[in-house]
């Protein structure tokens, strides 16, 4: 790195080549350390391995083997674990038990076998010896670091809830009976809702705390696109995967906390016409966060607020999720924090970007972030200090969301995350009466035939989920109002009803109607008979505008001044 910095005139191709060599060397070194120390470091390496387009390619390529090719336990240890956990010798339960595992991860390794009772092909996941104590030791180290940080940096956010969630998740991850229950619940939920994503079903009589026996699914990692049949619709497959994640979170209260590519497979299935298609398979239900109903509602409100850029609802939903703030909401710094936080969260729900385009996009985002941080340092106001406590549920959700973004990028497809998330959020909010569609709009007394048609059209648009609220005025050729209709609410959740007097925040969209009104006005004499120009006061065209001493010109209005 020093050599590259000291030779600024090197050819770009040479510089890129040397950077690639440097990244590959560093990635190999990190890989070796992860294999040596295992535990929590493996999780970090697995997450990094899915960031194609975000991290340099040598890092992704080098760390990819951490997804399912970690060092294995010896076979004698596997035999002992099965006999101890299931209370019977391996040969009494299984036959054709493969001594070499087909995959090995941080917690356990998977073997192929057949059940002796019915010859059914199964996958047997066996826990590595001592992995529970290793994970506990790692978490104690993290807790120690967090404690020191809190001691020497008292203004830093409180991460105790995050650590508590990781401790809970790590403890549950080494209990395969809990994993079996999670997988069963998820599988039934996806099947009930007709989503074309499956989970391997556990065979309960052959499961224990350290042994998990599941129906074997033929398949491969979702990112191994070269193995997919010709003509595979990767976009639909990715959409189904994101849809499954959203439905499980908001309708069932299950967050899969570790959907890296090693835990997402695809299996080939035959269609009715004999063609072969593939569908996603969600593996490894060890790291799961279960949400209570109020947590699901808070998360749904948070997503709706983020996508609607509703600042009040956003802050309230964060508080409902468990965030605590060390700032007065009336402070200017807090408003700035909310604005920046809204933008960062909206970025998480962006349409997925193919990995070959991600690097340029992320570089632009980084420049924007650096500019914001530079401005923050000039004002001397650190927005991170406004957060008192960060809840663990947000960690699990955003971790899963980011990994799905990475998978979609590696599949080189564009998936509308925001639309899919909203489709799962809205039914939950509607069921709680926190958002209601327009419903059948009653006709007011003396409603004309024209107004009935307008209201019927609005109702049709609402039935198609195309509008949240609307104000309509129909004018005749003389500019006289023929009918008016207003409906809906100003916000998605608990918003006030729209009336004819409600001011709509049109932002830049207001420029179009204003320009059309101006052009129309310039073709006609004003009511006062005076000539009209950009420098003319608005009152020349609209005498009532002078109320309360307003003297803005037409140019002022167009400039939003």
For residues 342 and 363, what is the distance between their CA atoms, to the nearest angstrom? 20
Q: What is the pLDDT of residue 267?
A: 94
Whether residue 335 is found in the same domain as residue 413: yes
For residues 53 and 35, what is the distance between their CA atoms, to the nearest angstrom? 24
For residues 179 and 213, what is the distance between their CA atoms, to the nearest angstrom? 11
Whether residue 454 is found in the same domain as residue 554: no
The residue assigned the tokens 């710094």 is: 333
Whether residue 482 is found in the same domain as residue 549: no
Q: With a threshold of 0.85, does the pTM exceed it? A: no
Closest to 307 (Cα-Cα) out of 511, 46, 492, 67: 492
pLDDT at 236 over 70: yes
Strands 103-104 and 276-282: unpaired
pLDDT in tens, 98-112: 999 998 877 889 999
In terms of residue numbers, what domain contains 528?
Answer: 507-561
Q: What share of the chain is helix, strand, coil (3-state, %, to 5)?
A: 55, 15, 35
Q: Taking residues 126-136, report their average pLDDT.
A: 80
Whether residue 357 is found in the same domain as residue 287: yes
Whether residue 231 is found in the same domain as residue 332: yes
The residue assigned the tokens 């997804």 is: 67
Whether residue 247 is found in the same domain as residue 274: yes
pLDDT in tens, 417-476: 999 998 898 888 878 765 555 555 667 777 888 988 998 898 888 777 778 788 899 988
Number of domains in the chain: 4
For residues 46 and 31, what is the distance between their CA atoms, to the nearest angstrom? 11
Handedness of CA 20, 26, 29, 34 (dihedral sign): negative
pLDDT at 142 over 80: no
pLDDT range class, residue 82, cuts 50, 70, 90: very high
Q: What is the pLDDT of residue 385?
A: 59
Q: Taking residues 345-351, report their average pLDDT.
A: 87
Please report whether residue 56 resides in a domain: yes
Closest to 88 (Cα-Cα) out of 238, 265, 269, 211: 211
CB atoms within 10 A of CB 284: 27
Structure tokens at 93: 């339960």
For residues 175 and 209, what is the distance between their CA atoms, to the nearest angstrom? 5
Cβ–Cβ under 8 Å, residues 171 and 139: no
Average model confidence (pLDDT) across the chain: 81
pLDDT at 362 over 50: yes
More confident residue, 525 or 115: 115
Among 435, 470, 492, the domain-final residue is 435
128-157 burial code (b ≥16 CB/10 A, e <16) = beebbebbeebbeeebeebeeeeeeeeeeb
Helices (H) and strands (E) in the chain, counts: 19, 14
Please report whether residue 288 resides in a domain: yes
Please report whether residue 92 resides in a domain: no
For residues 379 and 81, what is the distance between their CA atoms, to the nearest angstrom? 60
Whether residue 349 is found in the same domain as residue 272: yes
Whether residue 513 is found in the same domain as residue 452: no
Find the range with the poorest average confidence among 294-298, 449-453, 497-501: 497-501
Find the range with the poorest average confidence among 39-48, 492-501, 536-545: 39-48
pLDDT at 78 over 90: yes
Q: Taking residues 207-224, report their average pLDDT.
A: 93
201-215, 223-237, 431-445, 463-477, range with greatest mean pLDDT: 201-215
Q: Taking residues 119-131, report their average pLDDT.
A: 92
Handedness of CA 310, 315, 317, 318 (dihedral sign): positive
pLDDT range class, residue 2, cuts 50, 70, 90: very low
Q: What is the pLDDT of residue 52?
A: 59
pLDDT at 87 over 90: yes
pLDDT at 482 over 60: yes
Among 67, 86, 113, the domain-final residue is 67
């Amino acid at each position: 790195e020093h050599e590259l910095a000291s030779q600024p005139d090197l050819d770009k191709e040479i510089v890129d080549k040397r950077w690639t060599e440097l990244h590959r060397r560093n990635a190999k070194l990190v890989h070796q350390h992860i294999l040596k120390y295992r535990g929590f470091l493996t999780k970090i390496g697995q997450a990094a391995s899915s960031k194609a387009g975000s991290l340099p390619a040598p890092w992704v390529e080098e760390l990819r083997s951490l997804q399912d090719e970690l060092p294995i336990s010896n076979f004698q240890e596997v035999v002992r674990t099965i006999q101890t956990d299931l209370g019977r010798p391996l040969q009494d339960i299984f036959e054709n038990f493969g001594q070499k595992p087909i995959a090995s991860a941080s917690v356990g390794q998977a073997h192929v076998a057949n059940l002796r009772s019915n010859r059914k092909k199964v996958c047997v996941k066996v826990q590595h010896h001592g992995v529970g104590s290793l994970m506990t030791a790692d978490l104690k180290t993290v807790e120690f670091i967090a404690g020191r940080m809190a001691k020497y940096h008292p203004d830093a956010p409180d991460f105790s809830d995050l650590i508590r969630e990781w401790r809970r998740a790590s403890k549950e991850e080494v209990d395969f009976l809990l994993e079996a229950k999670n997988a069963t619940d998820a599988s039934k939920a996806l099947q009930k809702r007709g989503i074309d994503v499956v989970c391997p079903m556990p065979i309960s009589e052959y499961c224990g705390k350290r042994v998990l026996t599941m129906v074997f699914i033929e398949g491969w990692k979702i990112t191994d696109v070269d193995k997919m049949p010709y003509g595979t619709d990767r976009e639909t497959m990715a959409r189904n995967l994101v849809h499954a994640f959203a439905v499980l979170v908001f309708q069932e209260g299950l967050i899969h906390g570790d959907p890296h590519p090693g835990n997402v497979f695809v299996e080939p299935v035959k269609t009715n016409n004999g063609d072969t298609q593939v569908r996603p398979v969600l593996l490894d239900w060890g790291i799961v966060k279960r949400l209570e109903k109020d947590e699901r509602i808070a998360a749904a409100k948070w997503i709706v607020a983020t996508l609607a850029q509703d600042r009040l609802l956003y802050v309230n939903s964060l508080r409902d999720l468990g965030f605590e703030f060390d700032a007065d909401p009336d402070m200017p710094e807090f408003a700035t924090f909310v604005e920046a936080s809204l933008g960062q969260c909206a970025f998480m729900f962006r349409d997925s970007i193919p990995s070959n385009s991600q690097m340029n996009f992320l570089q632009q985002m980084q420049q924007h972030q650096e500019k914001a941080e530079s401005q923050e340092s000039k004002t001397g106001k650190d927005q991170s200090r406004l957060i008192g406590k960060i809840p663990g549920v947000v960690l699990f959700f955003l971790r899963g969301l980011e990994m799905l973004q990475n998978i979609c990028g590696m599949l080189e497809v564009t998936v509308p995350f925001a639309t899919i998330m909203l489709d799962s959020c809205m039914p939950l909010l509607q069921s709680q009466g926190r958002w209601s569609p327009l419903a059948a709009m009653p006709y007011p007394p003396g409603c004309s035939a024209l107004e009935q048609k307008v209201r019927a059209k609005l109702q049709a648009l609402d039935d198609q989920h195309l509008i949240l609220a609307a104000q309509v005025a129909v004018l005749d050729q003389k500019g006289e109002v023929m009918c008016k209709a207003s409906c809906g609410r100003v916000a998605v959740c608990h918003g006030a009803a729209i009336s004819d007097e409600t001011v709509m925040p049109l932002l830049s969209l207001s420029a179009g109607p204003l320009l059309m009104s101006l052009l129309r006005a310039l073709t006609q004499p004003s009511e006062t008979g005076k000539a009209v120009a950009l420098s003319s006061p608005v009152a020349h065209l609209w005498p009532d505008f002078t109320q309360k001493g307003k003297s803005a010109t037409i140019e002022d209005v167009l400039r939003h001044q």
